[in-house]
Structure formats: C-alpha cells, structure tokens
Structure 1
Amino acid sequence: MSASPAHTVEYIRYRVPAERAAEFLSAYARAAVPLAAAPQCVDYELARCEEDVEHFILRITWTSTKDHLEGFRSSEHFRDFFAHIRPYVENIEEMRHYAPTPVRGTGAATPTLYAWAGGAERFEKLTEVFYEKVLADDLLAPVFAGLAPEHAAHVAQWLGEVFGGPAAYSRAHGGPDGSGAHAHMVSKHLGKGITEPQRRRWVNLIQDAADEAGLPTDAEFRSAFVAYVEWGTRLAVYFSGPGAARPADQPVPAWTWGAAPPYQP
C-alpha cells in the first residue's frame, strides 16, 4: 500500500481572435460538462492571458496519459466534448502532456498548516498531552508499553513536517537524502496488530489533545488535521496487520489545506 501514482497534466495553448473569445468561452463552458463526467479527468481549468487576451491555456489533469489517449479519446465523453470545441482546433498552438516533478509547494500567501497551528511549540505540546492520555487509556496503553522517552518529541517532529514545517524528522530518520523517513515511521507499526477500536480511540484522543494543547479550532484547519489523522491511522492499521512489509522509501507525506482554504477575515 502506497501513495497514488502521479497524474499527468495536459496543457493546450490557444490563440483565439478577440472577436471570437466570447463564443470560445461559451463553447468550453458546454464542453466542460462531458469533460468533468469523464472518469479519466481529475480536474481542469481554462485561463486567459492578461497581457495578450487572445491567448488561452487549458489545463487538464488526467489519471494518466494512457487513460487520456486510450480511454477518454475512445469514449462518448470525448465525442460530446469534441463536438463543442471542434471549431477551435485550428486555433491550437501547442498541446502536450507534462509529468509532475518533486518541485512544488505553496507560497507565503497561503500559510502552512504548521504555521497556522503555531509551529514547533504547539506540536510538542500536542504530543505531550496526547501521550499522557494514551498511557492512561486502557485500550491504547498496551500498544505503547515501554514507550521510549523521546517518542513524543519524534512524533511532534513528524507531524510538524507533515503539516509543512521543517524537515527535522527526515533529517534524523530518513537516511542520507531523507527519502526513507516515511518507511521509518511506518515500520514502527509492523506486527503491532492494531485494531479498529484502537485506531478510533487514537483518533479521538488526539483530537481531545489538540483542544487542550490550543491548536486552532477553525473548521478549515481542523478538517485538514482530522483528514491526515484518519489517513495516517488507517495506514498504521494496514501496516500493523499480518503479512505487511516495510514499504519502499518515499518522502514524508505533505499535507495542506483541503477544499476549504484558511479563513482569514
């Protein structure tokens, strides 16, 4: 079990005379209906150049290049899509697929979840409160028997990095290039046999600890926080089960805001 494979991004660059721009946009508004209905389409966006209003770029994220060329192109969705945009094929100046690279991130205009939460001090308080609760809990205490004194600090580093903070966990536990950090964390759960009731108690306790540690309570932050907690604990259950093996090296997951952006009045 590992992260989903990378998608592919198609860019189509158009030059449309200004007098045809309105009809072009109207055609794509109609074409967007079958495009969005196609199971191979992840998302899409049509943008217009501000400096040269005759230029448009359509970005479509596909599940894969093969899915686009062999799946979508042979489907009724494509036929319906193409019927709307056919008059503008002659206006295409470039149409190519691009694979994502590791170079990505968000800018300072969007705060990281780590910064929004209050940084290292807040995550350290979170894990301190959380493990106090865990060790006093009848369902979870057996799982964490013999807990190392530094465990809470390591988990604080892990959570901080996941939510956009410094790569402290990767530097300490990920090997020379940091790529083994995720596998290092996951391997701690091998053979533990974590049950669903234990997972749910873990989720509940860390939310209680987040309240006591003073993590933000706004809906946007907490929905992203809980989304990671759900994802991470379900992964832990999987790797704690019979037959699970240490996964291949991969970086620490990068969690950010979900569908709801940070609310800043």
Structure 2
Amino acid sequence: MTTETVEYIRYRISEERSAEFLEAYTRAAVQLAGAPQCVDYELSRCEEDFQHYILRIVWTSTDDHLNGFRKSDAFQDFLAAIGPYRGDIEEMRHYKPTTVRGPGAAVPTLYAWAGGADAFARLTDTFYAKAVDDDLLGPLFADLPPEHAGHVALWLGEVFGGPAVYSAEHGGHGHMVAMHGGKDITERQRRRWVELMHDAADAAGLPTDAEFRSAFAAYIEWGTRLAVYFSSPDAARPAEQPVPHWTWGAAPPYQG
C-alpha cells in the first residue's frame, strides 16, 4: 500500500515581500524537482487574501522526507533559498490522504469517455471471442465460464473510473489478482494478450484519440505484468489493496 504523505506549509507573507518570496521559492523548487523523495509540489496563493500562501509537497513517505531529503545536501540548498521566510510559517505538517477522493465532473473519466458499461462489455466480448481460439492464449482460457467476460468488463470499468460494481460483487483487487494464481503466464502470452486487447478495442469501437489510447495502453501493460507476476508458482500473496483507479496520464502508486 502506498506510504505517500502530503506536507502542507502555510505562510503569511506581506505584500511588499511577495515578489522576493516567489523568487526564492523558484530557486528552492530546483531542489524539490531533483529530490528522489519528492513526488510533486505546488505553491498556491490565496485569492481572497494575497498574504497567504500554501506549499503542498507530496513525499514518497514521511520518513523519506525527514531522514532522506532533510539530511541531504539538496536540503541545505533548499533551506538557503527559503530560510529567510521560516519565521513566516503558520503551519508545517504531514497529512495522509484518506479514501474520500475522486474526480470531479469537469474532466470525464476514462470510463465515460470510452462509452460506459456498453463499451467495456463490447470490448471484453470481442476480446474473449478471439482469445479462446488463439493458439497461444487458448490454453489459459480452457473451461472459461460464460460470465467471465462480463466480470472482466466490470473490472475494467471500475479501473477506468466507472461504478465500483466489481469490488462490491466480486471481491475487488485481491480476487482479481488471485484468479491468475498457478497459471504460470509466459511473457509471450502476456504480449499476445496485450495485442489482442488492442485489436478488440479497435473492433469494439473504443475511442482512438491518443490521450485515451495512451492511458488504456498504460493500464494494459501494468495489469498484464502484474498478472504474470502473480501467476508464478512462487509469487507472494497479493496485498490487500483497492482496485486501481486509472486516470488521464496517471497510475496508482502501489505495485502489487
């Protein structure tokens, strides 16, 4: 499970010092951008009261921040730039994200962009119609239950931002990963799976714009590599994690 932490630093900076403050953080940001412990960062200014600023930094973990970045040479350079403003800090704390999160309606989910439940049902129906007769993949799908394609459609729909039906009715991430146990999937089979899934996306009429297809391809690569790992006879038991939620140009932070 992810150990990422979000640090918030709240400043009160007088109007006459704001330009030099922003210039100092522009220099300090070079150290954040180059730090392996830093996931991303953003300095925001309050619209209602220009004296208030919030710096948000996502760290790989609290320990990585305190015992990694803060003990590095980069921190000394960071501190040299923003040191004059330490007395203007009103809050400096680490926060853990909660499960209360999700996209807003301003940007459509990949699920909605693809066409919703009907699109993913067409995708999996098309894919399995090809896969069961494929020389390389056929053995993996011997005795495939008729409801399997529908279950995978629910899984993919949830992954790409649709309703959490798979989690509610079919066991979520742990169940899906466990379904691959003992199959000993080869790299050739994984690559064939990816190829047929892309062919099925074309045949099922999923969107062909580069933004959608790049996100779709990224999940297919990530998911199939996870399946290969957990199909190995000596694979460790999968961790308890939520279904990964794939978005435009982003991937979930955990690995298995």
TM exceeds 0.5?
A: yes
Displacement of 1:244: 2.0
Q: Could you tell me how far 1:139 is from its partner in structure 2?
A: 0.4
1:10 paired with 2:1, answer no
Select the residue among 60, 65, 87 that pairs with 1:63. Answer: 60
Q: How does 1:83-232 map to 2 (within 5 A)?
A: 83-174=80-171, 181-232=172-223
* 8 A Cα contact 1:183 1:246, kept in partner: no
Aligned partners of 1:68 and 1:170: how far apart in 2? Answer: 34
> Cα deviation per residue 1:149-197 (whole Å; 9 max; x = unaligned)?
11101100110011111111112112xxxxxx11111111100010000
Q: CA deviation at 1:100?
A: 1.1
Q: What secondary structure sits across from 1:109 in the alignment?
A: coil
User: Gaps spanning 5+ residues in structure 1: where?
Assistant: 175-180, 260-265
Is the partner of 1:57 in helix, strand or coil? strand
Work out the CA distance in 2 between the residues paired with 1:69 and 1:246. 31
Equivalent in 239, 249, 252 of residue 248 of structure 1: 239
Which ranges of structure 2 fall in alignment gaps of 5 or more residues?
A: 251-256
How many aligned positions are there?
A: 250
Identity within the alignment, %: 72
> Hey, what's the Cα distance between the residues in 1 that align with 2:61 and 2:241?
20
Superposed CA RMSD: 1.0
Contact kept? 1:190, 1:246, Cα under 8 Å: no
Query: Which whole-Å CA distance do the structure 2 matches of 1:187 and 1:139 have between them?
Result: 21
Deviation sequence 1:34-75 (CA, Å, 0-9, x none): 121111111100000000001000001111111111111111
1:45 and 2:42 aligned: yes
* Runs ≥4 residues deviating over 4 A: none
SS in 2 for 1:238: helix
Task: Tell me how far 1:121 sits from its aligned partner.
Answer: 0.3
SS at match of 1:43: strand
- Mapped to 1, the partners of 2:244 and 2:31 lie a distance apart of 33
